[in-house]
Amino acid sequence: MATIPSFQLRQTHNLVMTPHLRLAIRIMQLSSPEIKTLIEEELQRNPLLICNERDTSHSDEPAPDQIIKQPSLPLPSSDSLKSETLPDSADAPLDTDYDTEASSGGFDDGYSTDGAPVDYRQHGLTQWEEADRKAACPVSLAEKLDEQLRMTLQLTPQQRFIGAGLIARLDATGRLDTSSGDIASDLNVPEEAVETLRILMMTEFEPSGLFAYNLQECLAAQLVAQNRFDPAMAALLKHAELIPGKHYAKLRALCGVNDHDLADMLAELKRLDPKPGFQPDPVTVATIIPDVYLHRIPDGGGWSVQLNDEAVPHLYLDKKLQARVTSTGQKDDQAFIRIQLANANGLIRALEQRSRTMLQVSSEIIRHQYDFLDQGAPGLHPLTLRDIAATTGLHESTVSRVTSGKYISTPQGVFELKYFFTTAIRNMHGGKDLSSEAIRFKIRKMVNTETRDTILSDDDIMRRLRKEGIDIARRTVAKYRDTLHIASSVQRKRERAAPV
């Protein structure tokens, strides 16, 4: 039987997301800095939007009470424009006696008193302005080393040539990733000359420890420069791989020192710079701005949850521009304004919906975690996204979006809203279940109260928690301990063996 092509009409149900709905979902999950970036982009794109942080006089015409009329000035008459208004040639000769002008301190400030050129941009700067200028243009490490190389008078021309080659081969940490033999081959000089100058520059140049091949050599050069490199310290650096593992007993035997001396030696190593040539880029530290504030109501009236108005700028419509284009604009202008008006209204509604949802979810979280405000982490109760969604009537995905990257200021500090969602740990005595965050707080408190002779293993912590009625397994204790970045009991014993 042959198949014949034909047209069929069929109705289906599909979920279509409008551009405004996609924008609302996107705004719901953005943090405050990301919202500000989005608003800045929209302000550049949409002429109908006005931000409350900017000048609201967005219209081209000034407000009626701001109109200032220009006073009329009389024009000069032709009689006042006579040649007598110019200075007489006898009063100011065109030719200048340069010898007299130079001796009297005339001319411009392009040269200093000794005849050297002077940068006009540096003229007249105070010491504070000069310091700011130098801070804005810091000197690189290579420039500092080149200056030290020039100032070292006892070096021969060949050594200066080798020194320039060594400086050019430094990596970002101030070490050499090329052997002395390869450097000597590239520079066509003896290898002994390269090695001799490398050792000299490693201990004599500032900062000391540069031009090393490894960490041990770098630290040893700094100790030599400080006259602190003795046989015990040399043995410690030779077996430096034992330091991260806290093998203090073995290190004491290898170095031939007691606990106090080993602690002093380790403390001295910590004061050294493992990367003397590292110059970090200036990074602006981002400050967390709370999206929600929590205030106590006077006279014991509870707590008040308020949105931070400064976290997200408020947007308004430019009614004057809209009315002027609608009444006098051309057809294309009016069509453009209608599109921009729809986009502006959609953005403003999405921001208002984000604020309402955030306030609603934050209030419900505080209602569930009321004991946290006075007790801190031990007062946290088990809470899930489903619990907040059930009480607010929102979807779990909406609650997740509105709590990600949003922060609330509480008496206990500033926390992300996600912090208050914790899983439940069953109470063996039939009481209320405890939150996982409260269990972590108990584990940290137990570890902080340890002494040298009472180091708790994971089994010991599990037994103590079970005595309090907390049904928890040893592997769960180990998992919580790892999330708290607490070392194992064996590692903590090594650390307590020789406190530094």
- Rounded CA-CA distance 400/398 in Å is 5
The answer to whether the peptide bond before residue 207 is cis (omega within 30 degrees of 0) is yes
pLDDT at 107: 43
- Rounded CA-CA distance 498/247 in Å is 9
* Assigned token pair, 215: 């960490």
Evaluate if pTM is beyond 0.95. Answer: no
| Cα Rg of the chain (Å, integer) | 37
- Rounded CA-CA distance 160/411 in Å is 62
**Nearest Cα to Cα of residue 369 among 425, 430, 429, 411:** 411
Cβ atoms of residues 342 and 81 within 8 Å: no
- Rounded CA-CA distance 388/368 in Å is 9
* Assigned token pair, 268: 């001295």
Give me the residues paired with residue 434 across strands.
425
Rounded to 5 degrees, φ, ψ at 416 are -75, 145
Cβ atoms of residues 120 and 109 within 8 Å: yes
How is residue 83 annotated by DSSP? G
**pLDDT tens track of the chain, all 500 residues?**
667 888 888 887 776 677 888 888 888 888 888 998 899 999 888 888 888 754 444 444 333 333 223 333 343 343 433 434 434 444 444 444 544 544 554 444 444 444 444 444 444 555 555 555 555 566 788 888 889 988 888 888 898 999 898 888 888 888 888 888 888 888 899 999 999 999 889 888 888 888 888 888 899 999 988 888 888 998 998 888 888 877 888 888 888 888 888 888 888 888 888 888 877 665 556 678 899 998 888 776 688 888 888 888 888 888 888 788 777 767 787 888 888 888 889 999 999 999 999 999 999 999 988 888 888 888 888 999 999 999 999 999 999 999 998 999 998 889 999 999 988 888 777 677 778 888 898 999 999 888 888 889 999 999 989 888 888 888 999 998 998 889 888 888 877 765 45
Beta strand pairing call for 292-296 and 49-51 = unpaired
pLDDT at 92: 43
